[in-house]
């Protein structure tokens, strides 16, 4: 008996301790980032083909502060790999495809996207040209473009990048194989990209082919060859290769990475010093990102001046300068402070009959929701209101707003917090409270929904809370539910799930193919039934009319016709309410502390650099123009 109890106690204790780690993992208090230990630093120092001249930094102090630009809010957890054609690299400073433009610190795309103007600016490539029926695109590469090993960037590199993308179905392959047919090198510096054609012989979507130009980091053909040989052409092995010997073309390269931080160092042989590109090197010698436990830790570091550029949502950010007198600023010096490119949205799950069958219910909840409170509260006014930018499928940028006829859909709009209107709508639709318990019934059953978003995403949780409160006021029971992110992500991407009735997710922000891509995400039945669906239409909404228009838009070149088609889509969206946006939100937050560096992009500085964190798409130009304070 005694022995038994001892063993049992021991086992239970062990179980508890393990459980404790599991339970506390997500919510443990932020531990301030400690400087990595010297021994670890040496061990983790990159085994690059070209070893950096300096020894690996022993601690923070060896990175000279006035040569280092510190980031926050990008890298969570340690780096997995440097393999640019791989997957799951978790290497945000070097490898990150943001919807606002690809991060081109270490690997470069053919063109840089500027989400403010919608332009594509040449990087590895100089120019591109479509043929008349949009089936073939000729791209000319820059003469000066070179790899880190000194060899020129050629059309063969682009072709090899595409080839390995198809072989492994990596990020590039998955995103573009439905739209790009072939990438052929027609010369050293020229290549032809052919669109995939549909049954009618028309290109499937030329817009997506243009996305390829700004969204695909190019890898070196010779390195891809080495990689493929070492992996025997096994797709899984290629995807999971660590890529320590990778060859890059960008201005920075890996310097140091461990559990506490990631540091990139400037490559002083960078080809972009050529007059045909930047004509100089970027200013900071080091790009460093400490790995913080959570947003609060990153925010504290920004306040302390340990971080120069912070990509995190900070509520009431104006207090940092108004009340705390810190040298912190944002792209705009007044609300909404950043450029809102996307709209976090509440999606209705059409797998749930009561939701699918009742347009009135969907619209009533959307009408009753208090958007003013969500924007003031969850976003602390860092978003235009729906009175300023009426809801549609477009983000608030002027370019997208001009793509539909605001007057034509005016009657379909709703203002929010319209309890009376919502109640009337429900009454008319016959969704009544027949048993007098205060809740409305459908087919004799109480309508009971939940509103779901990940736990810990406080601004979204606040929004779901406000949606639930709206339900209370119109006799629809809506219970907010905050599952852990790892649980939620498996559920809402499952096309047959019925656990979440209303759930929050954000469509894509900006790219050359927007707003078409976003409209497609909102309305296209292309994604219905897709397993492990990260692509769009998470509510499984089907509308044939919308499908037809969505297919027509990419092939329409006449601007007036385009506006007409987009207006039709907005009409469908506002009539059928398959989802409703809750706020506008920047895709990238861009708060800078000018304790060390200054001359960051701002809206009124006349330089037209997008606030893309000084790293993404054309936003990287900021790095070439930074100055030290004083």
Binding site for other proteins (CB under 8 A): 1, 5, 8-9, 12-13, 16, 19-20, 23-24, 27, 295-296, 299-300, 303, 315-316, 319, 321-323, 326-329, 333, 372-373, 376-377, 380-381, 450, 455-456, 458, 461-462, 465-466, 468-469, 479-483, 592, 594, 598-600, 602, 605, 629-630
Quick one: 31 or 629, whose CB is closer to other proteins? 629
Q: How far is the CB of 479 from other proteins (least distance, A)?
A: 6
d(Cα 265, Cα 275) in Å, to the nearest integer? Answer: 22
Q: How far is the CB of 495 from other proteins (least distance, A)?
A: 23
Measured over the CA atoms of residue 372, residue 491, residue 506 and residue 356, the dihedral's sign is negative
Quick one: 9 or 32, whose CB is closer to other proteins? 9
Pairing of strands 340-342, 597-598: unpaired
d(Cα 341, Cα 617) in Å, to the nearest integer? Answer: 15
Query: CA-based angle 33:34:40, to the nearest 5?
Result: 120
Q: How far is the CB of 296 from other proteins (least distance, A)?
A: 6
Count Cβ atoms below 10 Å from residue 425 Cβ, excluding itself. Answer: 20
Quick one: 347 or 500, whose CB is closer to other proteins? 500
Quick one: 461 or 513, whose CB is closer to other proteins? 461
Q: How far is the CB of 305 from other proteins (least distance, A)?
A: 11
Quick one: 166 or 419, whose CB is closer to other proteins? 419
Confirm if 204 and 102 have CB atoms less than 8 A apart: no
The distance of Cα 224 from the centroid of its chain, to the nearest Å, equals: 27
Quick one: 428 or 605, whose CB is closer to other proteins? 605
d(Cα 526, Cα 536) in Å, to the nearest integer? Answer: 9
* DSSP-assigned letter for residue 507: -
Exposed (0-12), middle (13-18) or buried (19+): which is 400, by Cβ within 10 Å?
buried
Helix (H) or strand (E) holding 598: strand 597-598
Quick one: 281 or 300, whose CB is closer to other proteins? 300
d(Cα 54, Cα 529) in Å, to the nearest integer? Answer: 53
The distance of Cα 109 from the centroid of its chain, to the nearest Å, equals: 17
Q: How far is the CB of 70 from other proteins (least distance, A)?
A: 16
Q: Which two tokens stand for residue 10?
A: 């021991």
Q: Which of 340, 263, 330 is nearest to 302 (CA)?
A: 330
Q: How far is the CB of 5 from other proteins (least distance, A)?
A: 5
Q: How far is the CB of 497 from other proteins (least distance, A)?
A: 16
Quick one: 322 or 402, whose CB is closer to other proteins? 322
List the beta bridge partners of residue 286. 68, 265
Quick one: 130 or 332, whose CB is closer to other proteins? 332
Q: How far is the CB of 315 from other proteins (least distance, A)?
A: 6
Q: CA 235 → CA 82, 87, 177, 366, distances in Å?
A: 17, 11, 16, 45
HSE value, Cβ hemisphere, 13 Å, CA-based, for 406:
12
Q: How far is the CB of 507 from other proteins (least distance, A)?
A: 25
Q: Which two tokens stand for residue 469?
A: 């409160």
Q: How far is the CB of 235 from other proteins (least distance, A)?
A: 38
Quick one: 9 or 178, whose CB is closer to other proteins? 9
């Amino acid at each position: 008996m005694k022995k038994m109890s001892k063993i049992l106690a021991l086992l239970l204790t062990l179980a508890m301790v393990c459980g404790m780690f599991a339970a506390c993992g997500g919510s443990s208090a932020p531990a301030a980032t400690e400087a990595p230990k010297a021994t670890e630093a040496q061990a983790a120092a990159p085994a690059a083909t070209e070893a950096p001249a300096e020894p690996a930094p022993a601690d923070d102090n060896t990175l000279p502060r006035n040569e280092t630009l510190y980031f926050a809010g990008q890298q969570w957890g340690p780096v997995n790999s440097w393999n640019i054609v791989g997957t799951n690299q978790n290497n945000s400073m070097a490898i990150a495809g943001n919807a606002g433009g690809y991060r081109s610190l270490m690997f470069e795309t053919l063109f840089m996207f500027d989400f403010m103007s919608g332009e594509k600016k040449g990087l590895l490539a100089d120019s591109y040209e479509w043929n008349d029926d949009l089936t073939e695109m000729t791209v000319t590469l820059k003469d000066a473009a070179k790899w880190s090993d000194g060899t020129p960037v050629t059309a063969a590199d682009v072709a090899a990048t595409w080839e390995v993308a198809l072989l492994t179905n990596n990020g590039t392959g998955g995103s573009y194989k439905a739209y790009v047919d072939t990438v052929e090198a027609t010369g050293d510096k020229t290549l032809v990209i052919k669109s995939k054609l549909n049954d009618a012989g028309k290109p499937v979507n030329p817009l997506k082919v243009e996305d390829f130009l700004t969204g695909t980091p190019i890898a070196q053909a010779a390195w891809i060859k080495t990689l493929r040989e070492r992996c025997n052409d096994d797709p899984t092995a290629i995807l999971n290769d660590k890529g320590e010997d990778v060859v890059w073309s960008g201005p920075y390269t890996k310097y140091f990475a461990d559990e506490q931080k990631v540091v990139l160092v400037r490559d002083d042989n960078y080809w972009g010093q050529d007059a045909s590109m930047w004509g100089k090197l970027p200013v900071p010698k080091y790009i460093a990102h400490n790995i913080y436990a959570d947003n609060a830790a990153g925010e504290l570091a920004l306040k302390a001046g340990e971080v120069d550029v912070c990509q995190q949502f900070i509520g009431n950010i104006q207090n940092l300068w108004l009340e705390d007198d810190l040298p912190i600023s944002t792209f705009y010096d007044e609300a909404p402070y950043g450029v809102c490119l996307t709209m976090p949205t509440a999606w209705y799950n059409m797998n749930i009959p009561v939701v699918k069958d009742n347009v009135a219910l969907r619209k009533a909840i959307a009408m009753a929701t208090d958007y003013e409170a969500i924007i003031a509260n969850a976003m602390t006014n860092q978003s235009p209101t729906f009175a300023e930018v009426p809801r549609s499928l477009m983000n608030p940028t002027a370019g997208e707003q001009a793509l539909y006829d605001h007057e034509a859909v005016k009657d379909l709009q709703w203002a929010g917090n319209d309890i009376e209107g919502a109640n009337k709508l429900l009454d008319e639709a016959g969704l009544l409270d027949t048993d007098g318990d205060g809740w409305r019934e459908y087919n004799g059953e109480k309508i009971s929904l939940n509103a779901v978003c990940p736990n810990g995403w406080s601004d979204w949780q606040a929004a779901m809370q406000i949606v639930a409160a709206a339900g209370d006021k119109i006799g629809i029971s809506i219970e907010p539910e905050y599952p852990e992110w790892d649980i939620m992500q498996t559920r809402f991407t499952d096309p047959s799930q019925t656990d979440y009735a209303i759930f929050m997710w954000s469509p894509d922000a900006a790219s050359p193919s927007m707003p078409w891509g976003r409209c497609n995400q909102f309305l296209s039945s292309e994604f219905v039934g897709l397993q492990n669906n990260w692509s769009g239409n998470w509510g499984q909404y089907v509308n044939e009319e919308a499908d037809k228009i969505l297919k027509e838009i990419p092939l329409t070149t006449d601007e007036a016709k385009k506006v007409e088609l987009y207006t039709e889509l907005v009409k469908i969206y506002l009539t059928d309410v398959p989802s409703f946006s809750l706020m506008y939100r920047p895709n990238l937050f861009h708060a800078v502390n000018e304790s060390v560096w200054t001359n960051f992009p701002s809206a009124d500085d006349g330089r037209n650099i997008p606030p893309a964190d000084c790293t993404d798409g054309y936003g990287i130009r900021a790095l070439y123009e930074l100055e030290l304070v004083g």
